[in-house]
Amino acid sequence: MSSEGFLKEVQAIGEKFLLKLQRLPKAEPVEIVSFSVVLLFIVTVLVLTIIACSCCCSSCCGCDGRPDPRHRKSQVRPAAR
């Protein structure tokens, strides 16, 4: 998919989302609850992704972007018998 096609898709999804938000005050309670659940799910996934990325980045690299020497990987060799 080209970048133009992707941008058009994102714009179409955004327009549908805005249209849904505009119709929300007139919607039935079931529709409001279902929309809230979907929105909560999306926000939760985004927050957990940000937390996971920040934890992963901070554990292997310092704030300056250089690898932390305390977290070197060591090779495990079989024990000699």
Structure tokens at 50: 């940000």
* Local confidence pLDDT in tens for the 81 residues of the chain: 688 899 999 999 989 988 988 888 888 999 889 989 998 999 999 999 999 888 876 655 555 556 555 555 667 778 777
Kindly report the pTM of this predicted structure.
Answer: 0.54
Any idea what the Cα angle at residue 43 is, between residues 11 and 61, rounded to 5°?
100
Any idea what the Cα angle at residue 12 is, between residues 9 and 14, rounded to 5°?
110
Beta-carbon contacts of 67 under 8 Å, excluding residues fewer than 6 positions away, are: 60, 61
